[in-house]
Amino acid sequence: MKRTAAFFDFDKTLLTVESAKPGLRYLYERGEVTFGFVLSIMFANVFFQRHLISEKKMGLLMLRLYRGKLLEKFEMHAVEFYNDRLKPLLARNILSCVEEHRQKGHVLVLVSGSVRYFLRPVVEDLGFDHLLCTDLEVKNGLLTGKTEGRICIDIEKRIQVEKLAEQENLDLFASYAYGNHQSDIPLLDLVGHAFVVKPTRPLKKTALDRGWPILSFA
């Protein structure tokens, strides 16, 4: 028999903020990024919040911080960062949704544009069954500042979910998805039960047009 799944976005869905903000602060405190880099991301984020640059563009800008560095250097602090900086910012209402789906025996999937080392502690702590995300490219032992494959946003989320559904025999029509941004629409369109969480203005309009329930963090 086919199984039902629940797909959760991370930033501003399961997490109440964009994870880049506490992430950059943490890395700056550790001396991993310069103040100039942080300032450039803050400037770009002003345009992103006004939907003047895409989520893909923001992702590519963020990836620059990894160029020429060892992946292990970031992996060794991932659990500490999650416990200290991210876990207190998880959305209580959406965590309750995760638990409800778990109790029903649904397959839990975290689907995010963020990178794997960053999200692995989230998946392990919250008991997700699968993680679909962005992988960092490594050459000659060092990160290149590029991705291995595509950034897991927009239509790429849908593509990865469709592949997982085929591999794991998931019934997408019976499944659920949660997202906050208009770039999540290809994923939300894919399932029978779509929910939006504190949506952006473009996504809110789509949700109202299609009758998708709108959830809050608390």
Cβ-count burial 74-97 (b if 16+ within 10 Å, e if not): beeebeebbeeebeeebbeebeeb
Consecutive H or E run containing 5:
strand 5-8
pLDDT at 79 over 90: yes
What does the pLDDT look like over 147-190, one tens digit per residue? Answer: 999 999 999 999 999 999 999 999 999 999 999 999 999 999 99
Go through the domains of the chain in sequence order and give each one's CATH number: 5-215 (3.40.50.1000)
Whole-prediction pTM value?
0.92
What does the pLDDT look like over 18-60, one tens digit per residue? Answer: 998 899 999 899 988 888 888 888 888 788 777 778 778 887 8
